[in-house]
Structure 1
Amino acid sequence: MSLVIKPTLSAVWSTDARGICIASQESPEGLLPALKGVTLSAWLEFAQADDDETIAQQLTAALEMLTPFHIEVPVNCLDGTTRRVLLSGLPECHTSSSLNHFNGFILDITGQRKALEDALRTATEYRLLIENSTDLIAHCDKDGRYVSISPSYSEMIGWSVDEIVGKRVVDFLHPDDRVPAGNALVHIFDGGVLPDVVEVRKRHRDGHYITLGTKACGVSDPSTGDNIGAVLVSRDITRDMEKIRKLEKLATRDTLTGLPNRAWIYDKVRRMLSQEEDPSFTTVLFIDLNGFKPVNDTLGHAAGDLLLQQVSERLKHSMRPGDSVARLGGDEFVVAAKCRNRKAASAVAQRLIDCLQKPFVINKMEVKIGASIGISLAGVGSASVDQLFDSADRAMYKAKAKRSSSYQFFDDWTAFNFE
């Protein structure tokens, strides 16, 4: 049956000493089964919409004991709807028991009951969601202190409810995350919105940190609209971040040597060229190994790979603080450095050549190689990354022509169109 609740139903009634209803005023008329002329028990037997016998028993006991009653009962109305009503009665006692009768009312509480049931159901659903969620769900007040937390807090980060509630949210974060997280909460408390997930590191009870992605939203007082705190929903993204770091490494690292690759060093040089506050020259040193091809051809590609790995280690240990070395492919490497002048760049190049002078041992055999290095320098805004790499490559071929370990600077900038 339908649970339509409009219009609101009410009725006022009274009985005589025999319990028969002698007066009834209904609003609206014609919805309730007729009260007038029947006893309340007979009316209830006809109107009641379910088989709950306890309702009739409660009414009978109240009538016999001459006690007030308030009974909630579902009734079938004449328009085909089922409504929950409150049937209430109060005995009017006189000195003569023959004059005992009841006055009372019937009030439609369908809407109120449905609202209560909906609220209870919603509260139960939310409680089940929170209690069984693997996410961390918390409520903090506008002072940034925890008011309540989900059971998952204890399961995921080891802290109990008593250890967290009342403490500041930021107290459980990594020191480097406390200021930005605190600023984000203040923004929410001031009525702002954080559309993006905030990444924070939360301290486990045993001391290590878990990386969380947290979505926060403000909570307002429904009567005033003033902020009263925030709800924080956090998810463990530690593994996700590890996967991202691995993907970033795959995208920016040479798989054979572990050195940065072309994409990484290009981005590095691009950032170096944009450092306007640094008067030093951005310097690219293009390195090509001398004698690598004969090793690769005579000893095989596996031996060639071992040689490249050993070369990479020597180059890494020859870097100054702030310098970077990458493998472009094959036997080509590049170093990005900041140099005050050509003399400083020459010193870097000579150190690279010197580090490769000592023989390498490949499969118990000594192997000697050298390096030809091309050098290109550029100030802020004087060249692009591509121009800087291309000019260093051209200079490397000039050094290669000498057929010995050496370096050459690129000087012919007229070869480039700077328009």
Structure 2
Amino acid sequence: MADQTGALRESFLQQENNSAQYPLPDNEEERLVALQEYQLLDTPPEQSFERLTGLASRLFNVPIVLISLIERERQFFKSHIGLDICETSREVSFCTHAIMRDDVLVVPDATKDQRFSTNPLVLGPPFIRFYAGKPLVTPSGMRLGTVCLIDTKPRFSFNDDDRKHLSDIASLVMEHMETRRLDLVRSISQARFENIARTSADAIIFSNSESQITFWNHSAERIFGYKADEVLNHSTDILIPDSWLPLYEAEVERLQTGEQLQLADRVVELSGLRKDGTEFPAEFSLSTWWEGPSVNAGAIIRDITERKENEERLFRLASLDPLTDLPNRGAWRECLMNVLQASEPCTVMLLDLDLFKEINDTLGHAFGDEVLKEVATRLRTICKEARMIARLGGDEFIILYPGNDARRARALASEIIATIKTPYDFAGQHAEIGVSIGISFSPQHSLRADELMGAADLALYRAKAAGKGQFEIFVPALREVAVARRAFEQELRQAFERKEFELFYQPQFSAETRELTGAEALIRWHHPHRGLLSPASFIDVLSQKPSAPEIGEWILHTASSQAARWRKQRKDFRIGVNLFAVQFRHGNLVQVVRKVLDETGLPGEAVELEIVENILLHDEPDTLRLLNDLRTLGVGLAFDDYGTGFASLSILKRYPVSRLKIDRTFIRDVDTNPEDEAVVRAILYLGRSFGMNVIAEGVETEAQLSFLQKSGCQEVQGYLLGRPVPSAEFEERFLSGITKKG
């Protein structure tokens, strides 16, 4: 933070030495005069403002929130969260642009905005990307500054509700500023004070030493409902509800004896009593002064009914999940921290709904929302003794129970599982879901919130792996497994950097003539301690890592380069390359394939990209467009492991697949199992019907090969004819004119 502060101050000083160019309001001088009236510049932090910036930070989930006041050449931060300075040059200020408009200024990505892309606060600390600022406007219309939200990541969604919430917070800040200003007014002359009081939006009331009302402004009439002639020379007790009448009487006694009022010179929240007998929340600011031998009292009273309603709504938004009305993640963490800091034993139960995604996909999100609300209702019914039931987001819920009794936790988890799986019926539609639960205890498993949550998460992961609809209690071995997995992931990251990956090649042959037609490139890992590892040992983890697109590109380029050399010996040689699903989502696959073809000189038909079912089912319109673009380049598209998933015939009709690969599980017993035989014959029939070639994987016996030849399968690969081998061995064995069995 010290480095950040230094960089910001240096930026500020550099900007001061430049000739500033920034927009100025037409009424700039009047605006600066109005700003001085509030006497807020260079003042220390105040709780009322700090509370509102904290609320905004939680409500909008942003790291930086500022209450910024724009002076002539600088902006001063009356309150700031996430930024360890209290001012910057006006020249680098986003807020100086925000005060030029009435509504919220939103900058989704500052690096893409001409006004700010070269701003030192964008290019350097705090590296601003997103900004939203609402002007602070005085009752007379002067824009003094802003309440602004800042994030170091771009945000492209800031809807009308977000704008309203930010505007409400700005209104609350302005109300606090107005309260301070009126407090300052008390120090000026009585005559001027009364003149201002007559036009104030707040009720301003004077009384003498006998507590008789001597001054009553128009706002007092509006707020309390009494006209001036109904209250002048009457006791102020008509404005005081029973709830604080004893305090009022004690203050009157102090006033009559010349003592200092207990409530003087500060703002206190109390209730006011209207003429119709109703009470309302109000801020009272009391003061006294002497006129000759007599003491007088004054009160500035603000009706804060609307503010209280807004604050309650905003705090509700900041702490409650709007769909289920359960506490949200922020409220949950605060509750858990309080329990752990008090050293109270507790049980954490982390819940994840099973099959919920299928409900959204098949019955729609509206039905899914109704299910989530019903789940919340059922949890409240079951878990009456819980300290808190919260929704963390999506289909995740969490429960905090007092005590750490494992037997009770098991019984409760079983009851929750049974209750949640009871069917859900809405608007004539029916659905069933389940729930998996991970459980951890404090202090046994940790006294830290993040570790306790992590323990429950690891237990949940084990429960889902056990078949869903289960619960697991955390044991240290689960953490050891997680640590081992992280270590393995670190090894994978280093493996690519250390060039420990190698491609093996499995030959592919014509089923009828046994002539070589191509090869499938398969990755292997030369692990420094465990030796040569097949993809089964690491491919699932690797495919989920951020480096997967880069490794996938390396595989494609390496295999294509090798194929280009082998095509000099066998001109019709074709190379098959498996793709990671993430390469389809990365957005540049077509460009990568085109670049590889250009650099290796391969024609498109020499490359066959192998895709699996989950790729075809992901984001259908974009996937279809991408596959068509790839086919335009001439490359083949092989549907790998066909028959093992849920792919329908419509996929073969819609997608430009050029080859089907029969999975080895159907080939293993194809010559002895009638069901496998029927599946293989059906796939071959589909291939012929849709004009696609078919290749069978896992051919290991002559009987299997003979069946495939008789059934009209065009190509085969498997251990019978050749195992996956390094490139040099592949060239020696399969391209030298001598074909040996694997």
| Alignment TM-score > 0.5, same fold | yes
| In 1, Cα distance between equivalents of 2:299 and 2:477 | 58
1:314 equivalent in structure 2? 378
Deviation at 1:141, TM superposition (A): 6.0
**Pair 1:292–1:138, CA change in 2 (3 A):** same
- Corresponding residue for residue 172 of structure 1: 240
Aligned Cα root-mean-square deviation (Å) = 3.8
Distance 1:255 1:274 in 2: 28
Q: Report SS of the residue matched to 1:212.
A: strand
One of 357, 360, 364 as aligned partner of 1:300: 364
Distance 2:248 2:459 in 1: 50
For residue 327 of structure 2, what is the aligned residue in structure 1?
Answer: 260
Q: Is contact 1:196-1:215 (8 Å) kept?
A: yes
- Residue pairs, 1:190-269, within 5 angstroms: 190=260, 196-220=266-290, 228=295, 230-269=297-336
Deviation digits for residues 18-72 of structure 1 (CA, Å, limit 9, x no counterpart)? xxxxxxxxxxxxxxxxxxxxxxxxxxxxxxxxxxxxxxxxxxxxxxxxxxxxxxx
Distance 1:291 1:222 in 2: 81
Contact 1:173–1:200 (8 Å) recurs in 2: no
Q: Is the 8 A contact 1:291 1:370 kept in 2?
A: yes
Q: Decide whether the 8 Å contact of 1:316 with 1:325 is kept in 2.
A: yes
State the partner residue of 1:44. Answer: none
Amino acid at match of 1:139: F
Q: 1:286 offset after TM fit, Å? A: 0.4
**Change beyond 3 A, Cα 1:183–1:360:** farther
Bigger Rg, structure 1 or 2: 1
1:356-367 equivalence runs, <5 A: 356-367=420-431
* Partner residue, 2:339: 272
- Kindly indicate whether the alpha-carbon contact (under 8 Å) linking 2:438 and 2:461 is maintained by their aligned counterparts in 1: yes
Q: Provide Cα deviations, 1:317-358, integer angstroms capped at 9, x if missing partner.
A: 333155321111111111122135223333433332232132
Which moved further from structure 2: 237-246 or 400-409? 400-409
- What is the one-letter code of the residue matched to 1:319? C
Q: Can you list the C-alpha shifts for 1:246-278, whole angstroms capped at 9, x where unaligned?
A: 2212222223333221111111111222335xx
> SS at the partner of 2:283?
strand
- Structure-1 residue corresponding to 2:30: none
Aligned residues of 2:208 and 2:214 also touching (Cα < 8 A): no
What one-letter code is carried by the residue in structure 2 that aligns with 1:257?
T
SS at match of 2:472: strand
* 1:39 equivalent in structure 2: none
Aligned mates of 1:284, 1:183 — CA distance in 2: 50
Partner of 2:206: 139
- Which residue type is aligned with residue 200 of structure 1? L
The answer on whether the counterparts of 1:172 and 1:203 sit within 8 Å (CA) in structure 2 is yes
Query: Pairwise mapping of residues 47-58 of structure 1 onto structure 2 (< 5 A)?
Result: none
Give yes or no for contact 1:274–1:381 (8 Å, CA) kept in 2: no
Give me the whole-angstrom Cα distance separating, in 2, the residues matched to 1:337 and 1:124: 62
Do residues 403 (structure 1) and 467 (structure 2) align?
A: yes
- Structure 2: which amino acid aligns with 1:266? R
Please state whether the residue corresponding to 1:328 is helix, strand or coil: strand
CA distance in 2, matches of 1:393, 1:206: 56
Question: Does the CA-based 8 Å contact 1:274-1:380 persist in structure 2?
Answer: no
By relative contact order (CA 8 Å, sep 6+), the higher-ranking structure is 1
Call closer, same or farther: CA 1:178–1:286 in 2, change over 3 Å: farther
Bigger helix share: 2
The Cα shift of 1:382 comes to 5.3
Aligned twin of 1:155:
222
Q: Is the 8 Å Cα contact of residues 212 and 232 (structure 2) preserved in structure 1?
A: no
1:21 is matched with none
Identity %: 27
Aligned partner of 1:368: which letter? Answer: E
Q: For structure 2, list consecutive stretches of 5 or more residues without a partner in the other structure.
A: 1-188, 484-742
d(CA) in 2 for partners of 1:379, 1:404: 27
- Look up the match of 1:38: none
C-alpha distance in structure 1 between counterparts of 2:445 and 2:289, whole Å? 50
Partners of 1:406 and 1:285 lie apart in 2 by 12
Answer with 186-195 or 400-409: which moved more: 186-195
Instruction: Map 1:11-30 to 2 at 5 A.
Output: none
Q: How many residues align?
A: 287
CA distance 1:366–1:282, shift in 2 (3 Å): same
Provide the rounded CA distance (Å) in 2 between the counterparts of 1:347 and 1:205.
58
SS in 2 for 1:317: helix
TM-fit CA distance, 1:213: 1.8
Structure 2 contact 372–395 (Cα < 8 Å) conserved = yes
Distance 1:232 1:347, change over 3 A: farther
Separation (CA, whole Å) in 2 of partners of 1:375 and 1:208 = 50
Question: For residue 310 of structure 1, what is the amino acid of its counterpart?
Answer: E
Structure 1 residue identity aligned to 2:423: P
Structure 1 pair 338/195, CA: closer, same or farther in 2 (3 Å)?
farther
1:327 alignment partner, one of 368, 382, 391? 391
2:225–2:276 Cα contact (<8 Å) kept: yes
1:343 matched residue in structure 2: 407
Letter aligned with residue 214 of structure 1: F
Pair 1:305–1:174, CA change in 2 (3 A) = farther
**Greater shift after overlay, 290-299 or 347-356?**
347-356
The residue aligned with 2:186 is none
Which residues in structure 2 correspond to 1:108-127 (within 5 Å)? Answer: 126-127=193-194
In 1, distance between residues paired with 2:477 and 2:245?
A: 50
Q: Specify whether residues 198 and 123 from structure 1 end up closer, same or farther in structure 2 by C-alpha distance, changes over 3 A only.
A: closer
Match of 1:211, SS?
A: strand
Are the structure 2 counterparts of residues 342 and 378 from structure 1 closer, same or farther at C-alpha, using a change threshold of 3 Å? same
